[in-house]
Structure 1
Amino acid sequence: MVTPHDSTTVQLGMIGLGRMGANMVRRLMAGGHECVVHDVTTEPIDELAGEGAVAAHTL
């Protein structure tokens, strides 16, 4: 199991939070990875930030 202090944990960014992008972020976060997220609309950014992602409202 990956923990936040494990050397296999990575920080990554996801641009585009439609059905596929949002689900990929959720799975990556469930695996212990830190995700920075961006989309053209604020709704999915705020939703995923509420689930633990880091919001990036600008690139």
Structure 2
Amino acid sequence: MTRRWMICVLIELSMSMSGCNGVPSRLALPDGAHRVPVNQQPPVPPGASLSVDGACP
């Protein structure tokens, strides 16, 4: 009984450790491809304000 319990604990421990390899998983699309969005907007710097006349900077 103790031997079976110890084997189960070791198997569960090894399975849980193999899932935590320290590297976050990459997002995958439904087709399995890993793509990065192209049109990412840069973050707005703090203190930046929108122009009220609608003109482009």
**TM superposition score category, shorter chain reference:** under 0.3
Larger RCO: 1 or 2 (CA < 8 Å, sep 6+): 1
TM-score, length of structure 2 as denominator length: 0.23
TM-score, length of structure 1 as denominator length: 0.23
Structure number having the greater strand percentage? 1
Choose 1 or 2 for highest CA Rg: 2
Structure number having the greater helix percentage? 1
